[in-house]
Amino acid sequence: MGNFEVRKRDGLARISRLFLEEDYSLPGIFDPATLFPNLRDCRLANVPLAAGKEFVSQYLHRGEEQPVWVHPAGESRTQSGDCVMVPCISTALPNPRRYVDWVIRLKGTIPPDTAWYAPASALPSNLHLLVYSGFDLFDFTAADLKSAQGLFCLPEGEFSGDWISNGVCNCGGCKEGDLKVHNRAALLREMVLVRQFLSGSRLRDLVECRSRMNASQVSVLRLMDRKEGVVEESVPVARSLPLLATTGDVLSRIEVRRFSGRVVGRYIPPQADVAVLLPCSARKPYSLSQSHRKFISAVGGRAVELIVTSPLGLVPRELELVYPAAHYDVPVTGYWDAEELAFTSGIIAGFLKKHPFRRVIAHLEGGALEAARIAAELAGITLEQTCRDRATSPDSLAELDSALQGERRVRHDLVRGIGSWQFGVEIDSKGLVVRGRYPELMVSRGRVPAFSLDFGTGLLRPTFEGWSLIPGSYRVEIDEFIPQGDVLAPGVVDADPAIREGDEVLVVGSQAMATGRAAMAAGEMRRSRRGVAVRVRKVKRL
Protein backbone atom coordinates (compact mmCIF):
# COMPACT_ATOMS: atom_id res chain seq x y z
CA MET A 1 0.00 0.00 0.00
CA GLY A 2 1.20 3.51 -0.79
CA ASN A 3 0.53 6.72 1.08
CA PHE A 4 -1.76 9.12 -0.77
CA GLU A 5 -3.25 12.34 0.54
CA VAL A 6 -5.33 15.00 -1.21
CA ARG A 7 -4.22 18.57 -0.51
CA LYS A 8 -6.74 20.44 -2.66
CA ARG A 9 -9.85 19.55 -4.65
CA ASP A 10 -11.53 21.11 -7.65
CA GLY A 11 -14.41 18.79 -8.49
CA LEU A 12 -13.00 15.34 -9.23
CA ALA A 13 -9.55 16.85 -9.88
CA ARG A 14 -7.05 16.94 -7.01
CA ILE A 15 -3.69 18.32 -6.04
CA SER A 16 -2.16 15.58 -3.94
CA ARG A 17 0.93 13.69 -2.86
CA LEU A 18 1.78 10.04 -3.33
CA PHE A 19 4.59 8.39 -1.41
CA LEU A 20 5.92 5.08 -2.67
CA GLU A 21 9.69 4.84 -2.61
CA GLU A 22 9.78 8.59 -3.14
CA ASP A 23 7.40 11.50 -2.64
CA TYR A 24 5.50 12.46 -5.82
CA SER A 25 3.50 15.64 -6.35
CA LEU A 26 0.30 15.03 -8.34
CA PRO A 27 -1.07 15.47 -10.90
CA GLY A 28 2.17 14.66 -12.69
CA ILE A 29 3.86 12.82 -15.53
CA PHE A 30 6.33 10.09 -14.64
CA ASP A 31 8.29 7.21 -16.11
CA PRO A 32 6.23 4.09 -15.25
CA ALA A 33 9.37 1.90 -15.41
CA THR A 34 10.76 3.89 -12.47
CA LEU A 35 7.51 4.40 -10.59
CA PHE A 36 6.04 0.92 -11.13
CA PRO A 37 8.88 -1.44 -12.25
CA ASN A 38 6.62 -4.49 -11.83
CA LEU A 39 4.63 -3.43 -14.91
CA ARG A 40 7.53 -4.59 -17.09
CA ASP A 41 6.63 -8.20 -16.35
CA CYS A 42 2.93 -7.85 -17.23
CA ARG A 43 2.12 -9.39 -20.61
CA LEU A 44 -1.19 -9.86 -22.40
CA ALA A 45 -2.93 -8.25 -19.44
CA ASN A 46 -4.81 -5.30 -20.95
CA VAL A 47 -8.40 -6.39 -20.38
CA PRO A 48 -10.79 -4.33 -22.58
CA LEU A 49 -13.01 -1.96 -20.64
CA ALA A 50 -16.06 -3.37 -22.39
CA ALA A 51 -15.33 -6.89 -21.14
CA GLY A 52 -17.90 -8.60 -18.96
CA LYS A 53 -17.63 -9.65 -15.33
CA GLU A 54 -16.71 -13.28 -16.04
CA PHE A 55 -13.93 -12.35 -18.45
CA VAL A 56 -12.58 -9.72 -16.06
CA SER A 57 -12.54 -12.09 -13.09
CA GLN A 58 -10.47 -14.54 -15.12
CA TYR A 59 -7.96 -12.26 -16.82
CA LEU A 60 -7.57 -8.98 -14.91
CA HIS A 61 -4.09 -8.71 -13.39
CA ARG A 62 -4.09 -9.29 -9.64
CA GLY A 63 -0.56 -8.60 -8.49
CA GLU A 64 0.09 -7.52 -4.92
CA GLU A 65 2.21 -4.53 -5.94
CA GLN A 66 1.18 -1.00 -6.79
CA PRO A 67 -0.67 0.00 -8.87
CA VAL A 68 -3.84 -1.98 -8.26
CA TRP A 69 -5.51 -2.86 -11.56
CA VAL A 70 -9.21 -1.92 -11.64
CA HIS A 71 -12.02 -2.47 -14.12
CA PRO A 72 -15.65 -1.23 -14.31
CA ALA A 73 -16.92 -4.81 -14.29
CA GLY A 74 -14.49 -6.06 -11.65
CA GLU A 75 -14.71 -6.23 -7.88
CA SER A 76 -12.83 -3.51 -6.03
CA ARG A 77 -9.73 -4.75 -4.19
CA THR A 78 -8.41 -1.30 -3.38
CA GLN A 79 -7.70 0.25 -0.01
CA SER A 80 -7.22 3.83 1.10
CA GLY A 81 -3.79 5.06 0.06
CA ASP A 82 -3.49 2.74 -2.95
CA CYS A 83 -2.66 3.79 -6.47
CA VAL A 84 -5.12 2.31 -8.97
CA MET A 85 -4.60 1.85 -12.70
CA VAL A 86 -7.35 1.73 -15.32
CA PRO A 87 -5.88 -0.27 -18.23
CA CYS A 88 -7.02 0.68 -21.75
CA ILE A 89 -8.62 3.93 -20.55
CA SER A 90 -7.21 5.65 -23.65
CA THR A 91 -9.51 3.51 -25.80
CA ALA A 92 -12.58 4.93 -24.05
CA LEU A 93 -11.98 8.62 -24.81
CA PRO A 94 -13.41 8.48 -28.34
CA ASN A 95 -16.66 7.07 -26.88
CA PRO A 96 -17.84 9.83 -24.49
CA ARG A 97 -20.84 8.02 -23.04
CA ARG A 98 -18.90 4.88 -22.19
CA TYR A 99 -15.94 6.88 -20.90
CA VAL A 100 -18.14 8.81 -18.47
CA ASP A 101 -20.09 5.73 -17.37
CA TRP A 102 -16.92 3.73 -16.73
CA VAL A 103 -15.13 6.51 -14.84
CA ILE A 104 -18.15 7.32 -12.68
CA ARG A 105 -18.78 3.64 -11.94
CA LEU A 106 -15.19 3.22 -10.78
CA LYS A 107 -15.24 6.44 -8.75
CA GLY A 108 -18.29 5.17 -6.90
CA THR A 109 -16.68 1.88 -5.83
CA ILE A 110 -13.04 2.83 -5.17
CA PRO A 111 -12.04 4.67 -1.97
CA PRO A 112 -11.76 8.42 -2.68
CA ASP A 113 -8.29 8.69 -1.12
CA THR A 114 -6.59 6.66 -3.87
CA ALA A 115 -4.31 7.90 -6.65
CA TRP A 116 -5.48 7.23 -10.21
CA TYR A 117 -3.09 6.25 -13.01
CA ALA A 118 -4.17 6.58 -16.67
CA PRO A 119 -1.57 4.58 -18.62
CA ALA A 120 -0.68 5.45 -22.24
CA SER A 121 -3.39 8.13 -22.36
CA ALA A 122 -2.03 11.62 -21.80
CA LEU A 123 -1.60 14.06 -24.70
CA PRO A 124 -1.36 17.85 -24.62
CA SER A 125 -4.83 17.89 -26.19
CA ASN A 126 -6.60 15.71 -23.59
CA LEU A 127 -4.63 16.12 -20.36
CA HIS A 128 -7.01 18.79 -19.07
CA LEU A 129 -9.97 16.41 -19.40
CA LEU A 130 -8.18 13.43 -17.84
CA VAL A 131 -7.26 15.51 -14.78
CA TYR A 132 -10.79 16.97 -14.67
CA SER A 133 -12.10 13.37 -14.66
CA GLY A 134 -10.06 12.57 -11.55
CA PHE A 135 -6.86 11.00 -12.93
CA ASP A 136 -3.60 11.91 -11.16
CA LEU A 137 -0.68 10.03 -12.75
CA PHE A 138 0.33 9.95 -16.40
CA ASP A 139 3.22 8.82 -18.61
CA PHE A 140 4.77 9.77 -21.96
CA THR A 141 3.61 6.65 -23.84
CA ALA A 142 0.77 8.25 -25.82
CA ALA A 143 2.90 11.27 -26.75
CA ASP A 144 5.77 9.01 -27.84
CA LEU A 145 3.35 6.99 -29.98
CA LYS A 146 2.24 10.18 -31.74
CA SER A 147 5.91 10.96 -32.37
CA ALA A 148 6.38 7.52 -33.95
CA GLN A 149 3.37 8.25 -36.14
CA GLY A 150 4.93 11.52 -37.27
CA LEU A 151 2.38 13.74 -35.52
CA PHE A 152 3.03 17.14 -33.94
CA CYS A 153 1.23 17.53 -30.59
CA LEU A 154 -0.29 20.75 -29.30
CA PRO A 155 -3.07 21.45 -26.77
CA GLU A 156 -5.27 22.17 -29.79
CA GLY A 157 -4.76 18.70 -31.27
CA GLU A 158 -2.38 16.51 -33.25
CA PHE A 159 -1.10 17.83 -36.58
CA SER A 160 1.30 16.92 -39.36
CA GLY A 161 4.93 16.54 -38.34
CA ASP A 162 5.77 19.30 -40.85
CA TRP A 163 4.52 21.78 -38.27
CA ILE A 164 7.76 21.33 -36.33
CA SER A 165 9.51 23.66 -38.80
CA ASN A 166 6.73 26.26 -39.14
CA GLY A 167 7.61 28.28 -36.05
CA VAL A 168 4.46 27.30 -34.14
CA CYS A 169 6.63 26.29 -31.19
CA ASN A 170 10.11 27.43 -30.18
CA CYS A 171 11.04 24.61 -27.79
CA GLY A 172 14.36 22.75 -27.91
CA GLY A 173 12.81 19.86 -29.83
CA CYS A 174 11.52 22.18 -32.55
CA LYS A 175 14.90 23.90 -32.85
CA GLU A 176 16.57 20.50 -33.28
CA GLY A 177 13.78 19.01 -35.43
CA ASP A 178 13.15 16.28 -32.83
CA LEU A 179 9.44 15.46 -32.75
CA LYS A 180 9.68 13.25 -29.66
CA VAL A 181 11.40 15.95 -27.63
CA HIS A 182 8.79 18.52 -28.72
CA ASN A 183 5.80 16.28 -27.93
CA ARG A 184 7.13 15.44 -24.47
CA ALA A 185 7.87 19.12 -23.80
CA ALA A 186 4.36 20.09 -24.95
CA LEU A 187 2.85 17.54 -22.56
CA LEU A 188 4.94 18.81 -19.66
CA ARG A 189 4.00 22.43 -20.41
CA GLU A 190 0.35 21.51 -20.48
CA MET A 191 0.70 19.75 -17.12
CA VAL A 192 2.18 22.91 -15.59
CA LEU A 193 -0.75 24.93 -16.96
CA VAL A 194 -3.32 22.40 -15.72
CA ARG A 195 -1.78 22.45 -12.25
CA GLN A 196 -1.89 26.26 -12.19
CA PHE A 197 -5.57 26.36 -13.11
CA LEU A 198 -6.30 23.54 -10.67
CA SER A 199 -4.52 25.29 -7.81
CA GLY A 200 -6.59 28.41 -8.51
CA SER A 201 -9.89 26.45 -8.63
CA ARG A 202 -10.27 27.37 -12.31
CA LEU A 203 -9.74 24.03 -14.02
CA ARG A 204 -13.30 24.04 -15.39
CA ASP A 205 -12.54 27.27 -17.26
CA LEU A 206 -9.50 25.70 -18.90
CA VAL A 207 -11.42 22.52 -19.75
CA GLU A 208 -14.22 24.48 -21.44
CA CYS A 209 -11.64 26.42 -23.46
CA ARG A 210 -9.56 23.41 -24.51
CA SER A 211 -12.52 21.12 -25.25
CA ARG A 212 -13.90 23.38 -27.98
CA MET A 213 -11.37 21.84 -30.37
CA ASN A 214 -12.74 18.31 -29.91
CA ALA A 215 -16.38 17.24 -30.19
CA SER A 216 -15.86 14.10 -28.07
CA GLN A 217 -14.42 16.17 -25.23
CA VAL A 218 -17.40 18.53 -25.29
CA SER A 219 -19.64 15.48 -25.09
CA VAL A 220 -17.71 14.15 -22.09
CA LEU A 221 -18.05 17.50 -20.33
CA ARG A 222 -21.79 17.69 -20.95
CA LEU A 223 -22.38 14.10 -19.92
CA MET A 224 -20.44 14.58 -16.68
CA ASP A 225 -22.47 17.69 -15.87
CA ARG A 226 -25.63 15.61 -16.06
CA LYS A 227 -24.33 12.93 -13.71
CA GLU A 228 -25.69 12.95 -10.18
CA GLY A 229 -23.96 11.21 -7.30
CA VAL A 230 -20.17 11.21 -7.47
CA VAL A 231 -19.80 14.16 -9.85
CA GLU A 232 -22.30 16.46 -8.12
CA GLU A 233 -20.95 15.56 -4.70
CA SER A 234 -17.44 16.56 -5.74
CA VAL A 235 -18.39 20.13 -6.70
CA PRO A 236 -18.01 22.62 -3.81
CA VAL A 237 -20.94 24.71 -2.67
CA ALA A 238 -18.94 27.90 -3.34
CA ARG A 239 -15.71 28.98 -4.99
CA SER A 240 -13.38 31.91 -4.44
CA LEU A 241 -13.49 33.02 -8.10
CA PRO A 242 -16.31 34.14 -10.41
CA LEU A 243 -18.22 31.57 -12.41
CA LEU A 244 -17.58 32.28 -16.10
CA ALA A 245 -20.87 32.06 -17.97
CA THR A 246 -19.37 32.49 -21.43
CA THR A 247 -20.81 29.42 -23.20
CA GLY A 248 -24.17 27.71 -23.39
CA ASP A 249 -22.75 24.79 -21.42
CA VAL A 250 -22.92 26.90 -18.27
CA LEU A 251 -26.65 26.09 -18.09
CA SER A 252 -25.80 22.49 -17.27
CA ARG A 253 -22.99 23.25 -14.81
CA ILE A 254 -23.60 21.72 -11.43
CA GLU A 255 -23.19 25.04 -9.61
CA VAL A 256 -25.95 26.58 -11.73
CA ARG A 257 -28.30 23.60 -11.47
CA ARG A 258 -27.70 23.38 -7.72
CA PHE A 259 -28.48 27.06 -7.15
CA SER A 260 -31.63 27.13 -9.28
CA GLY A 261 -32.77 23.76 -7.95
CA ARG A 262 -32.55 25.02 -4.39
CA VAL A 263 -34.37 28.25 -5.28
CA VAL A 264 -37.33 26.17 -6.44
CA GLY A 265 -37.00 23.26 -4.03
CA ARG A 266 -35.64 24.73 -0.80
CA TYR A 267 -35.94 28.50 -0.62
CA ILE A 268 -38.80 29.89 1.49
CA PRO A 269 -39.83 33.40 0.36
CA PRO A 270 -41.33 36.02 2.67
CA GLN A 271 -45.06 35.89 3.20
CA ALA A 272 -46.44 38.20 0.53
CA ASP A 273 -49.23 38.58 -2.02
CA VAL A 274 -47.19 40.34 -4.70
CA ALA A 275 -43.97 39.45 -6.53
CA VAL A 276 -42.00 41.73 -8.84
CA LEU A 277 -39.72 40.30 -11.50
CA LEU A 278 -36.71 42.56 -12.05
CA PRO A 279 -33.81 42.52 -14.53
CA CYS A 280 -30.27 41.70 -13.40
CA SER A 281 -27.35 44.13 -13.46
CA ALA A 282 -23.70 43.96 -14.45
CA ARG A 283 -22.67 44.98 -10.95
CA LYS A 284 -23.06 42.43 -8.16
CA PRO A 285 -24.52 42.15 -5.66
CA TYR A 286 -27.40 43.65 -7.60
CA SER A 287 -28.59 45.97 -4.84
CA LEU A 288 -25.33 47.95 -5.00
CA SER A 289 -25.93 48.85 -8.66
CA GLN A 290 -27.54 52.16 -9.66
CA SER A 291 -30.37 50.41 -11.50
CA HIS A 292 -31.35 48.26 -8.54
CA ARG A 293 -31.23 51.19 -6.15
CA LYS A 294 -33.92 52.72 -8.34
CA PHE A 295 -35.89 49.46 -8.43
CA ILE A 296 -35.70 49.06 -4.65
CA SER A 297 -36.91 52.63 -4.18
CA ALA A 298 -39.80 52.14 -6.59
CA VAL A 299 -40.89 48.84 -5.03
CA GLY A 300 -40.64 50.34 -1.56
CA GLY A 301 -40.71 46.98 0.20
CA ARG A 302 -44.24 46.24 -1.01
CA ALA A 303 -43.42 43.01 -2.88
CA VAL A 304 -41.07 40.07 -3.04
CA GLU A 305 -38.25 41.04 -5.41
CA LEU A 306 -37.12 38.31 -7.83
CA ILE A 307 -34.27 38.99 -10.26
CA VAL A 308 -34.51 37.28 -13.66
CA THR A 309 -31.09 36.41 -15.02
CA SER A 310 -29.21 34.00 -17.22
CA PRO A 311 -27.67 31.58 -16.38
CA LEU A 312 -29.22 31.25 -12.90
CA GLY A 313 -32.84 31.70 -13.89
CA LEU A 314 -34.20 33.42 -10.80
CA VAL A 315 -32.43 35.08 -7.86
CA PRO A 316 -34.60 36.18 -4.91
CA ARG A 317 -33.33 39.43 -3.40
CA GLU A 318 -32.45 37.64 -0.16
CA LEU A 319 -30.13 35.29 -2.08
CA GLU A 320 -28.26 37.87 -4.15
CA LEU A 321 -25.08 37.32 -2.12
CA VAL A 322 -25.19 33.52 -2.28
CA TYR A 323 -22.65 31.91 -4.63
CA PRO A 324 -22.82 32.10 -7.60
CA ALA A 325 -25.48 34.86 -7.67
CA ALA A 326 -22.92 37.52 -6.75
CA HIS A 327 -20.04 35.76 -8.48
CA TYR A 328 -20.80 35.16 -12.15
CA ASP A 329 -19.55 36.91 -15.24
CA VAL A 330 -21.74 36.77 -18.35
CA PRO A 331 -21.43 38.48 -21.76
CA VAL A 332 -24.11 41.19 -21.98
CA THR A 333 -25.55 41.46 -25.49
CA GLY A 334 -29.29 41.67 -24.84
CA TYR A 335 -29.82 38.50 -26.88
CA TRP A 336 -31.24 35.38 -25.25
CA ASP A 337 -31.07 32.14 -27.20
CA ALA A 338 -33.65 29.37 -27.08
CA GLU A 339 -31.76 27.37 -24.43
CA GLU A 340 -31.54 30.38 -22.10
CA LEU A 341 -35.23 31.15 -22.54
CA ALA A 342 -36.24 27.55 -21.91
CA PHE A 343 -34.05 27.17 -18.83
CA THR A 344 -34.97 30.51 -17.25
CA SER A 345 -38.69 30.26 -17.96
CA GLY A 346 -38.72 26.76 -16.49
CA ILE A 347 -37.17 27.99 -13.24
CA ILE A 348 -39.57 30.95 -13.00
CA ALA A 349 -42.59 28.77 -13.73
CA GLY A 350 -41.52 26.18 -11.19
CA PHE A 351 -41.11 28.85 -8.51
CA LEU A 352 -44.43 30.57 -9.24
CA LYS A 353 -46.29 27.25 -9.20
CA LYS A 354 -44.85 26.36 -5.80
CA HIS A 355 -45.41 29.86 -4.37
CA PRO A 356 -48.64 31.27 -5.85
CA PHE A 357 -48.87 35.05 -5.58
CA ARG A 358 -52.01 37.10 -6.00
CA ARG A 359 -50.15 39.36 -8.41
CA VAL A 360 -46.95 38.94 -10.42
CA ILE A 361 -45.51 42.12 -11.94
CA ALA A 362 -42.88 41.92 -14.67
CA HIS A 363 -40.69 45.01 -14.67
CA LEU A 364 -38.61 43.59 -17.51
CA GLU A 365 -37.58 44.09 -21.09
CA GLY A 366 -35.93 42.08 -23.88
CA GLY A 367 -35.04 38.44 -23.34
CA ALA A 368 -35.87 38.51 -19.62
CA LEU A 369 -39.42 39.69 -20.41
CA GLU A 370 -39.80 36.96 -23.02
CA ALA A 371 -38.69 34.35 -20.46
CA ALA A 372 -41.23 35.72 -17.94
CA ARG A 373 -44.03 35.56 -20.52
CA ILE A 374 -43.24 31.93 -21.32
CA ALA A 375 -43.11 31.16 -17.58
CA ALA A 376 -46.47 32.83 -16.96
CA GLU A 377 -48.07 30.69 -19.65
CA LEU A 378 -46.48 27.55 -18.18
CA ALA A 379 -47.61 28.45 -14.67
CA GLY A 380 -51.09 29.51 -15.78
CA ILE A 381 -50.89 33.02 -14.31
CA THR A 382 -51.54 36.55 -15.55
CA LEU A 383 -48.46 38.74 -15.85
CA GLU A 384 -48.67 42.49 -15.27
CA GLN A 385 -46.12 44.58 -17.18
CA THR A 386 -44.79 47.94 -16.00
CA CYS A 387 -41.98 48.69 -18.47
CA ARG A 388 -42.90 51.29 -21.08
CA ASP A 389 -39.39 51.46 -22.59
CA ARG A 390 -36.26 50.98 -20.50
CA ALA A 391 -36.67 49.44 -17.05
CA THR A 392 -34.78 52.34 -15.43
CA SER A 393 -36.58 55.16 -17.23
CA PRO A 394 -38.58 57.59 -15.04
CA ASP A 395 -41.84 56.60 -16.74
CA SER A 396 -41.27 52.88 -16.14
CA LEU A 397 -40.27 53.40 -12.52
CA ALA A 398 -43.32 55.58 -11.96
CA GLU A 399 -45.49 52.87 -13.50
CA LEU A 400 -43.98 50.28 -11.14
CA ASP A 401 -44.60 52.54 -8.13
CA SER A 402 -48.17 53.14 -9.23
CA ALA A 403 -48.83 49.42 -9.73
CA LEU A 404 -47.86 48.79 -6.10
CA GLN A 405 -50.01 51.53 -4.59
CA GLY A 406 -52.02 50.21 -1.65
CA GLU A 407 -50.03 46.97 -1.26
CA ARG A 408 -48.86 46.15 2.25
CA ARG A 409 -45.17 46.10 3.14
CA VAL A 410 -43.41 42.75 3.13
CA ARG A 411 -41.31 41.59 6.07
CA HIS A 412 -38.07 40.34 4.55
CA ASP A 413 -36.09 37.83 6.61
CA LEU A 414 -32.48 37.29 5.54
CA VAL A 415 -31.82 34.46 7.99
CA ARG A 416 -34.96 32.54 7.05
CA GLY A 417 -34.36 33.07 3.33
CA ILE A 418 -30.68 32.18 3.14
CA GLY A 419 -31.04 29.50 5.81
CA SER A 420 -33.75 27.67 3.87
CA TRP A 421 -31.60 27.65 0.69
CA GLN A 422 -28.42 26.69 2.58
CA PHE A 423 -29.68 24.09 5.05
CA GLY A 424 -33.01 23.00 3.58
CA VAL A 425 -34.92 23.84 6.77
CA GLU A 426 -37.05 26.71 7.99
CA ILE A 427 -35.17 28.61 10.70
CA ASP A 428 -37.27 30.15 13.45
CA SER A 429 -35.94 33.70 13.32
CA LYS A 430 -38.20 35.08 16.02
CA GLY A 431 -36.18 37.28 18.37
CA LEU A 432 -33.17 37.50 16.06
CA VAL A 433 -31.76 40.96 15.40
CA VAL A 434 -29.66 41.82 12.34
CA ARG A 435 -26.90 44.37 12.87
CA GLY A 436 -24.20 45.87 10.70
CA ARG A 437 -24.00 47.51 7.32
CA TYR A 438 -25.05 45.44 4.33
CA PRO A 439 -23.49 43.13 3.27
CA GLU A 440 -21.35 42.81 6.44
CA LEU A 441 -24.04 41.62 8.82
CA MET A 442 -24.22 39.93 12.21
CA VAL A 443 -27.29 38.23 13.66
CA SER A 444 -27.82 37.82 17.38
CA ARG A 445 -30.43 36.87 19.92
CA GLY A 446 -30.15 39.39 22.68
CA ARG A 447 -26.42 39.69 23.23
CA VAL A 448 -25.65 36.17 22.04
CA PRO A 449 -24.33 35.95 18.45
CA ALA A 450 -26.23 33.44 16.32
CA PHE A 451 -25.03 33.95 12.74
CA SER A 452 -22.67 36.03 10.68
CA LEU A 453 -22.88 36.49 6.93
CA ASP A 454 -19.86 35.34 4.93
CA PHE A 455 -19.51 37.99 2.24
CA GLY A 456 -17.27 35.73 0.17
CA THR A 457 -19.90 33.00 -0.24
CA GLY A 458 -23.14 34.66 0.88
CA LEU A 459 -23.72 31.81 3.33
CA LEU A 460 -24.64 31.98 7.00
CA ARG A 461 -21.98 31.01 9.53
CA PRO A 462 -23.83 29.67 12.56
CA THR A 463 -22.48 29.88 16.08
CA PHE A 464 -23.47 27.19 18.58
CA GLU A 465 -26.53 29.34 19.35
CA GLY A 466 -27.33 29.48 15.63
CA TRP A 467 -27.00 25.72 15.24
CA SER A 468 -29.61 25.25 17.95
CA LEU A 469 -32.08 26.85 15.52
CA ILE A 470 -31.19 24.42 12.70
CA PRO A 471 -32.79 21.07 13.53
CA GLY A 472 -30.84 17.98 12.55
CA SER A 473 -29.25 18.91 9.24
CA TYR A 474 -25.62 19.38 8.20
CA ARG A 475 -24.18 17.43 11.13
CA VAL A 476 -20.89 15.52 11.14
CA GLU A 477 -20.73 12.80 13.79
CA ILE A 478 -17.27 12.09 15.20
CA ASP A 479 -15.75 9.43 17.44
CA GLU A 480 -15.03 9.84 21.14
CA PHE A 481 -12.42 12.60 21.14
CA ILE A 482 -12.07 16.36 21.53
CA PRO A 483 -10.87 18.02 18.29
CA GLN A 484 -7.45 19.60 18.67
CA GLY A 485 -7.60 21.57 15.45
CA ASP A 486 -9.24 20.30 12.27
CA VAL A 487 -11.25 17.07 12.17
CA LEU A 488 -9.60 14.37 10.05
CA ALA A 489 -11.53 11.83 7.99
CA PRO A 490 -10.60 8.80 10.17
CA GLY A 491 -12.38 10.45 13.09
CA VAL A 492 -15.69 10.80 11.24
CA VAL A 493 -18.36 8.24 12.15
CA ASP A 494 -21.13 9.60 9.93
CA ALA A 495 -22.14 12.74 8.03
CA ASP A 496 -25.30 14.23 6.59
CA PRO A 497 -25.42 13.12 2.92
CA ALA A 498 -26.31 16.69 1.89
CA ILE A 499 -22.89 18.05 2.94
CA ARG A 500 -20.63 19.33 0.16
CA GLU A 501 -17.18 20.88 0.33
CA GLY A 502 -17.51 24.45 1.62
CA ASP A 503 -20.72 23.84 3.58
CA GLU A 504 -21.04 25.09 7.13
CA VAL A 505 -21.36 22.08 9.45
CA LEU A 506 -21.83 21.22 13.11
CA VAL A 507 -19.45 18.57 14.41
CA VAL A 508 -21.07 16.43 17.09
CA GLY A 509 -19.40 13.91 19.39
CA SER A 510 -19.85 12.46 22.86
CA GLN A 511 -17.09 14.67 24.27
CA ALA A 512 -17.27 17.84 22.20
CA MET A 513 -19.07 19.90 19.59
CA ALA A 514 -17.45 22.11 16.99
CA THR A 515 -18.44 24.55 14.28
CA GLY A 516 -16.60 24.67 11.00
CA ARG A 517 -16.58 24.30 7.24
CA ALA A 518 -16.57 21.01 5.37
CA ALA A 519 -13.31 20.32 3.51
CA MET A 520 -14.81 17.39 1.62
CA ALA A 521 -18.25 16.03 0.79
CA ALA A 522 -20.09 13.70 3.16
CA GLY A 523 -19.44 10.60 1.06
CA GLU A 524 -15.73 11.25 1.02
CA MET A 525 -15.70 11.87 4.76
CA ARG A 526 -17.26 8.48 5.38
CA ARG A 527 -15.11 6.54 2.89
CA SER A 528 -11.68 8.18 3.35
CA ARG A 529 -8.96 7.24 5.81
CA ARG A 530 -6.81 10.28 5.13
CA GLY A 531 -7.26 14.03 4.83
CA VAL A 532 -9.01 16.90 6.58
CA ALA A 533 -12.79 16.45 6.74
CA VAL A 534 -13.76 19.67 8.55
CA ARG A 535 -11.89 22.94 9.01
CA VAL A 536 -12.79 23.70 12.61
CA ARG A 537 -13.57 27.24 13.70
CA LYS A 538 -14.57 26.74 17.32
CA VAL A 539 -14.75 23.80 19.77
CA LYS A 540 -17.05 23.34 22.76
CA ARG A 541 -16.36 20.64 25.34
CA LEU A 542 -19.35 18.68 26.59
* Interval 455-478 mean pLDDT: 94
DSSP code at position 367: H
**What would the mean pLDDT of 201-214 be, rounded to a whole number?**
93
pLDDT single digits (tens) 414-442: 999 999 999 999 999 889 999 988 878 89
> Using an 8 Å Cβ cutoff, are 290 and 225 in contact?
no
User: Which tens digit of pLDDT belongs to each residue from 507-518?
Assistant: 999 999 999 999
Task: Decide if pLDDT at 532 tops 90.
Answer: yes
End-to-end, the C-alpha distance of the chain in Å comes to: 38
What is the average pLDDT across 275-284? Answer: 94
Share the mean pLDDT of the chain. 93
Q: Which region among 214-218, 288-292, 294-298, 331-335 has the lowest average model confidence (pLDDT)?
A: 331-335
Using CA atoms in the order 318, 286, 277, 358, what is the torsion angle rounded to 10 degrees?
30
Could you give the 3-state DSSP secondary structure of residue 471? coil
β-strands 475-478, 487-488 pairing: unpaired
Residues of the chain with pLDDT > 90, as a percent, come to: 79
Mean pLDDT of all residues in 281-298 = 94
Which stretch of 5-9, 297-301, 350-354 has the lowest confidence by average pLDDT? 5-9
Instruction: Give residue 237's pLDDT.
Output: 95
Q: How big is the CA angle at 347 (ends 475 and 239), to the nearest 5 degrees?
A: 45
Residues 6+ positions from 409 with CB-CB distance below 8 Å? 300, 301, 302
pTM of the model: 0.92
| All domains of the chain in start order, with CATH | 3-225 (3.20.20.105), 243-403 (3.40.50.10630), 426-541 (2.30.130.10)
pLDDT tens digits, 136-170: 999 999 999 999 999 999 999 999 999 999 889 99
State mean pLDDT over 332-356. 92
Q: Write the CA distances from 84 to 47, 88, 186, 289, 495, integer angstroms.
A: 15, 13, 26, 51, 26
> Residue 378: is it exposed, middle or buried by C-beta count within 10 angstroms (0-12/13-18/19+)?
middle
pLDDT value, residue 60: 86
Q: How does 453-492 read in b/e, with b if 16+ C-beta sit within 10 Å? A: bbeebbbbbbbebbbebbeeebbbbbeeeebeebbbbebb
pLDDT recorded at residue 262: 97
CB-based contact 517:495 (threshold 8 Å): no
What stretch of H or E contains 507? strand 504-508
| Residue 106 DSSP symbol | H
What would the 3-class secondary structure string for 145-173 be? HHHHCCEEEECCEEEEHHHHHCCCCCCHH
pLDDT top residue among 254 and 3: 254
Amino acid at 40: R
Return the percent helix, strand and coil in the chain, to nearest 5.
Answer: 35, 20, 40
Is the pLDDT confidence value at 44 over 70?
A: no
- Which among 112, 130, 128 has a CA at the least distance from the CA of 120? 130
Render 280-336 in DSSP notation, one character per residue.
--SSSSGGGSHHHHHHHHHHTTSSEEEEEETTTEEEEGGGTTSTTTTSEE----S--
Q: Widest CA span of the chain, in angstroms?
A: 84
Question: Residue 6 in contact with residue 113, Cβ under 8 Å?
Answer: yes
3-state class (DSSP) for residue 33: helix
pLDDT for position 294: 96
- CA dist 331 → 52, 225, 282, 328, 336 (Å): 47, 22, 9, 10, 11
Mean pLDDT within 250-276: 95
**Which are the contacts of 260, defined by CB distance < 8 A and separation ≥ 6?**
312, 313, 314, 347
The dihedral built from the CA positions of residue 268, 270, 275 and 276, taken in this order, carries a sign that is negative
By CB atoms closer than 10 A (0-12, 13-18, 19+), residue 430 is exposed
Q: Tell me the three state secondary structure of residue 429.
A: coil
Instruction: Supply the angle between the helices 394-403 and 290-299 in degrees, to the nearest 10.
Output: 30
Residues 319/267, Cβ–Cβ less than 8 Å: yes
Residue 309 sits at φ, ψ, to 5 deg, of -155, 150
CB-count exposure of residue 369 (10 Å: 0-12, 13-18, 19+): buried
pLDDT over 70 (residue 369): yes
What value does the mean pLDDT take over residues 95-114? 94
Q: What's the sign of the alpha-carbon dihedral 245, 249, 255, 256? A: positive
| Orientation angle between helical segments 203-211 and 215-225, nearest 10 degrees | 140
219-250: pLDDT as tens digits: 999 999 988 788 899 999 998 888 988 888 89
Euclidean distance between CA atoms 375 and 373, whole angstroms: 5
Q: Report pLDDT for 213.
A: 93
When pLDDT is cut at 50, 70 and 90, the band that residue 1 belongs to is low
Least confident of 295-299, 326-330, 331-335: 331-335
User: What are the distances in angstroms from CA 120 to CA 50, 100, 185, 355?
Assistant: 18, 18, 16, 54
- Rounded mean pLDDT, 182-187: 97
* Closest to 153 in 3D by CA, of 120, 117, 189: 189
How many helices (H) and strands (E) would you count in the chain? 18, 27
Does residue 374 surpass a pLDDT of 80? yes
User: Confidence band (pLDDT; 50, 70, 90) for 34?
Assistant: confident
Which secondary structure element, helix H or strand E, spans residue 379, and what is its range?
Answer: helix 366-379
